[in-house]
């Protein structure tokens, strides 16, 4: 995906032969963005074989994660004091960051990963120091993160799934 100024905001080359490339939830700046397709090698594609591009637009402020959000400086804002967000662990080695302002004195977060994914959620302070880390609930497959926090303080949630990518099934994070 290339913005109007020519800056690449996302690139994908993860699909295996005869498998689709997937790039969920890339943020683009209005009014114009382009999708540029190219083959990694000149003889890698057929000039007569059709391909399909599917685009789904989501409004600003939706609960859907937007890439790039791989660091604190590009973190997606949490949509409210008690809310949920959805996202994808894709491409390989993806890490998602959310910026959150504490409304109370306790964080209670539940994450629902897609089947087969071990999701890890960490709470970071503004310096990037880990304050708390999630625990996997083996019986239900959910991930829980509970930690005392300072009201009105800014924190970051770092979401990862070491060694796993899933562009088709989303995870969900929910404040309790």
* Backbone φ and ψ of 158, nearest 5°: -110, 120
Structure tokens at 15: 């699909």
Closest C-alpha to 112, from 166, 48, 49, 46: 166
pLDDT (tens, 9 = 90+) of the chain, 176 residues, equals 777 777 776 666 666 666 667 666 666 666 677 777 766 666 666 667 777 777 777 766 678 888 889 999 999 999 887 789 999 888 778 999 999 999 999 999 999 999 888 899 999 999 999 999 998 876 568 999 999 999 999 999 999 998 888 777 889 999 98
What is the phi-psi region of residue 6: left when phi exceeds 0, alpha when psi lies from -120 to 50, beta otherwise?
Answer: left
């Amino acid at each position: 995906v290339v913005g109007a100024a020519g800056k690449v905001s996302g690139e994908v080359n993860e699909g295996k032969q005869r498998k689709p490339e997937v790039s969920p939830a890339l943020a683009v700046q209005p009014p114009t963005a382009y999708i540029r397709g190219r083959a990694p090698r000149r003889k890698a594609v057929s000039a007569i074989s059709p391909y399909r591009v599917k685009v789904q637009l989501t409004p600003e402020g939706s609960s859907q994660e937007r890439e790039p959000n791989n660091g604190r400086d590009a973190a997606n804002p949490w949509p409210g004091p008690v809310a949920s967000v959805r996202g994808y662990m894709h491409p390989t080695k993806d890490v998602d960051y959310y910026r959150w302002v504490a409304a109370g004195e306790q964080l209670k977060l539940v994450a629902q990963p897609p089947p087969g994914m071990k999701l890890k959620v960490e709470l970071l302070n503004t310096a990037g120091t880990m304050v708390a880390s999630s625990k996997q609930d083996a019986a239900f497959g959910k991930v829980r993160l509970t930690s005392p926090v300072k009201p009105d303080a800014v924190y970051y949630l770092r979401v990862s799934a070491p060694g796993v990518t899933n562009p088709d099934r989303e995870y969900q994070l929910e404040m309790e």
